[in-house]
Structure 1
């Protein structure tokens, strides 16, 4: 059983740390972006070093006080906000932002977990390199949070998830011991790879305090195009054509629907619409090319070949870096417009690529049996990740459909599961999807996850209630 981080514990913690490290949580530490969950916290801990994190965790372990790690607060599944129960310590790494070292010739950077993704990108750029993880929230999201959720983003097709861009981690385990894993090695077969166990565990197995990240040389030239397609099936054929013609050079391939443009026109009219008449479906193709290749010419060739096969209609090829940025700004504004409209239920899902074209009409038809909806389906088609979000009909609010939210979510997830997909592609499980994980997860996998949690966090103090409900604590009872 966990105990609360009450004033007496907060005073004890403050006495073990330098001044200013323990205070009352601010509202931003108790909220999540979609407003679905309001958390609680007995006190806020703001360490400035890994040693101070270890002191905090050790104190919490001894007193059986829960810890909720907080990065940039941008998570969309409630992993950073505590649920019901004893009020925990909110552990924020926002003061741990140092770049500890950068080795351009090795394509490696070591940085503390509280640094924002944008700051890491800037540090890499300053060394003539690039850290290719790219998210709409990169100005606020932190590297620790990116790794804890194994963040995806827009460049997964070429560079992989956050997991693929991490060579090693430093982390504080549940007893306060420090895992020193910041090796800059590509090969290290010396037993279990604890780095990959911690990445994606959402702070339930350890607190990542620093990471060794993989950098890449920036492409010599980049380009982008918007291409209108007849539908998702044609978009997938266009993706295959692009990868065949430009093997390894396609950085992003985003699918978007007319509803996204309509939401932008409704809520963010200052954003310039790319088409006079919004198409039903269109894609954003992004390339990064080596010296000697022209992105515009490559995209023109792709468009011509696709048109011969009936895969594209209208199209726009960026004529400058500014126009390419405008294409991406349009794509990254869609989630913001969604938030302004207010979804009844948002779904971050992944499917086998060949199942996507069939899933979309099947899910739309199944939802129509529950009511009248607007569906904004968009996402990272290149890696099978869709954001399939359900909105109320015009003139209605999401509050009017709150009683249907569970049924809408079950309708979508049941079909995703039946078609061999995942109910969480890049946002994680957090607290909002912990029950869904129990429902759809493989029993053997869930049992193994619980065994790992019990072994590494026997008192269940690390992010209690996230990912696995009611996990840990039995060994410490009595």
Structure 2
């Protein structure tokens, strides 16, 4: 140990724990961990540490806590709100879980899957499939997003309508606490009424309360039939009414129901790969993409879906519709939806939102927010898409043609205010699945119930009294530090 240089002493201790090759201190080695994929929240880490086991995570955290050094947990680094990258102080240790990828156990009888936090969502899907089961979490970044990350942000994805958010899929967690102790809450139990359900604190906690190292998920029967349809509708109200009719006809078999405006679809087609095209020819103002799935080999929901679409067309709720004739065509439909974030990145600067309102309020939100934004910034391009089946819209803005990036960014706070205030006025939330991170802290303070905020700070203080984990993410430093010093 180096008693004269505490920073060197900590680095030496970390190398002893995980091996010198897995403590990165050179700028070139750290770079890919220090900025998320959009480059919006870059920073500088004191070191990037890559443990391979829960025991190593525990020892790393204990060493950092003893040195009074903050720890930033990172999974696949696919976040959008600055919650998994270091700040620019150069003092934080970034703890990457990318070496912890093991599938610990898949049990088709218990319908459970236990995986380590660095396992990607796609790898979890494949492990479930190998066991003859379905892991239903599905999102555009599933090839790089990790299960630890989606747990920490309570990610939703495309099949929330039937299977729920990540919170609904988690049976158990293994978590390293701020003093290095391991809280083992893993297990296959569907019922456990022995006190507080502690795992729920860490789901959606954005790494501020503990570091998730392993997860036990629920698995489900694999669908034998999946009907995928693309339909154009005159407006969002028609989309909401179509969803209601589908649900009436086939119930919980409606697995996913996405709303896609002409803005995002036009961007996708502009930046498309060679095989991408609009399913129904011209781009309509609004489209919906939905899946209806059935696990039984003896039931076929196709007649019900076709009947709903035919009646909706007669009533003017649907302008045109196409049912995917093959798995490949269904994949092509979904590729259009999943390519939206990348197309918007390729288009240039954008401002992102992830709001939720009651499903019935979606049309009102779109109308009111759109009118206010166009009044603020004529020509603003609204990129509206998302999981209308659960009230979650990704309501983004790209800059008007001919406007400079600087002028566009100068209006960012005013744009945030309009979007968040509209959602709040309708009883909604400023974040549905992306989290708060660094981006939305001021909005959290403005719109979160004061009693709820106080409870959050008290929980943070109880589990992480020295603000070791992800300081300045989700809960502002000043808020936590005030509570710690009081």
Check whether TM > 0.5.
yes
Q: Structure 1 residues 137-146 or 301-310, which shifts more? A: 301-310
Q: Structure 1 residues 23-32 or 276-285, which shifts more? A: 23-32
Within the alignment, does 1:151 sit opposite 2:150 as a pair? no
1:334 aligned to which of 330, 340, 352: 340
Within the alignment, does 1:355 sit opposite 2:361 as a pair? yes
Which residue of structure 1 lines up, in the alignment, with residue 305 of structure 2? 299
State whether residues 148 and 202 of structure 1, in contact with CA within 8 Å, keep that contact through their aligned partners in structure 2: yes
Question: 2: CA distance between counterparts of 1:175 and 1:310?
Answer: 61
Question: 2: CA distance between counterparts of 1:398 and 1:160?
Answer: 38
State whether residues 313 and 320 of structure 2, in contact with CA within 8 Å, keep that contact through their aligned partners in structure 1: no
- Structure 1 residues 5, 99: closer, same or farther in 2, change over 3 A? farther
Task: State how 1:343-422 maps to structure 2 within 5 Å.
Answer: 343-372=349-378, 373-422=380-429
Unmatched tracts of structure 2, length 5 or more:
none
Alpha-carbon displacement from aligned partner over 1:69-97 (angstroms, at most 9, x marks no partner): 01001000000112244521100111111
- Structure 1 residues 344, 272: closer, same or farther in 2, change over 3 A? closer
Q: CA RMSD in A?
A: 1.8
Question: 2: CA distance between counterparts of 1:94 and 1:295?
Answer: 41
Q: Structure 1 residues 290-299 or 338-347, which shifts more? A: 290-299
Shift of residue 12 of structure 1?
2.6
Within the alignment, does 1:466 sit opposite 2:473 as a pair? yes
- Structure 1 residues 214, 269: closer, same or farther in 2, change over 3 A? closer
Shift of residue 8 of structure 1?
3.5
Question: 2: CA distance between counterparts of 1:5 and 1:150?
Answer: 36
- Structure 1 residues 93, 341: closer, same or farther in 2, change over 3 A? same
Which residue of structure 1 lines up, in the alignment, with residue 283 of structure 2? 278
State whether residues 5 and 86 of structure 1, in contact with CA within 8 Å, keep that contact through their aligned partners in structure 2: no
Query: TM-score, with normalisation over the residues of structure 2?
Result: 0.94
Alpha-carbon displacement from aligned partner over 1:200-240 (angstroms, at most 9, x marks no partner): 00110000000111000111111111111111111000000
State whether residues 5 and 43 of structure 1, in contact with CA within 8 Å, keep that contact through their aligned partners in structure 2: no
Task: State how 1:165-176 maps to structure 2 within 5 Å.
Answer: 165-176=169-180
Which residue of structure 2 lines up, in the alignment, with residue 179 of structure 1? 183
Shift of residue 259 of structure 1?
1.3
Shift of residue 293 of structure 1?
3.3
Shift of residue 262 of structure 1?
1.4
Shift of residue 251 of structure 1?
0.5
Shift of residue 307 of structure 1?
2.0
Task: Give the 3-state SS of the residue equivalent to 1:247 in structure 2.
Answer: helix
1:324 aligned to which of 330, 340, 364: 330
Which residue of structure 2 lines up, in the alignment, with residue 207 of structure 1? 211
State whether residues 23 and 45 of structure 1, in contact with CA within 8 Å, keep that contact through their aligned partners in structure 2: yes
Q: Structure 1 residues 120-129 or 387-396, which shifts more? A: 387-396
Alpha-carbon displacement from aligned partner over 1:78-121 (angstroms, at most 9, x marks no partner): 00112244521100111111111111111101111010001000
1:287 aligned to which of 292, 297, 318: 292
Task: Give the 3-state SS of the residue equivalent to 1:56 in structure 2.
Answer: helix
Shift of residue 282 of structure 1?
1.0
Alpha-carbon displacement from aligned partner over 1:267-306 (angstroms, at most 9, x marks no partner): 2252222122111111011111132334543432221122
Unmatched tracts of structure 1, length 5 or more:
none
Shift of residue 313 of structure 1?
1.1
Query: TM-score, with normalisation over the residues of structure 1?
Result: 0.96
State whether residues 459 and 472 of structure 1, in contact with CA within 8 Å, keep that contact through their aligned partners in structure 2: no
Question: 1: CA distance between counterparts of 2:202 and 2:438?
Answer: 18
Task: Give the 3-state SS of the residue equivalent to 2:256 in structure 1.
Answer: strand
Task: Give the 3-state SS of the residue equivalent to 1:203 in structure 2.
Answer: coil
Question: 2: CA distance between counterparts of 1:97 and 1:36?
Answer: 27
Within the alignment, does 1:20 sit opposite 2:21 as a pair? yes
State whether residues 117 and 148 of structure 2, in contact with CA within 8 Å, keep that contact through their aligned partners in structure 1: yes
Which residue of structure 1 lines up, in the alignment, with residue 462 of structure 2? 455
* Alignment coverage as a number of residue pairs: 475
Within the alignment, does 1:69 sit opposite 2:73 as a pair? yes
State whether residues 43 and 90 of structure 2, in contact with CA within 8 Å, keep that contact through their aligned partners in structure 1: no
Shift of residue 149 of structure 1?
0.3
Question: 2: CA distance between counterparts of 1:54 and 1:388?
Answer: 39
Q: Structure 1 residues 299-308 or 97-106, which shifts more? A: 299-308
Question: 2: CA distance between counterparts of 1:343 and 1:218?
Answer: 40
Question: 1: CA distance between counterparts of 2:86 and 2:421?
Answer: 27
State whether residues 117 and 146 of structure 2, in contact with CA within 8 Å, keep that contact through their aligned partners in structure 1: yes
State whether residues 458 and 483 of structure 2, in contact with CA within 8 Å, keep that contact through their aligned partners in structure 1: no
Which residue of structure 2 lines up, in the alignment, with residue 438 of structure 1? 445
State whether residues 30 and 45 of structure 2, in contact with CA within 8 Å, keep that contact through their aligned partners in structure 1: no
Task: Give the 3-state SS of the residue equivalent to 2:389 in structure 1.
Answer: helix
State whether residues 173 and 456 of structure 1, in contact with CA within 8 Å, keep that contact through their aligned partners in structure 2: yes
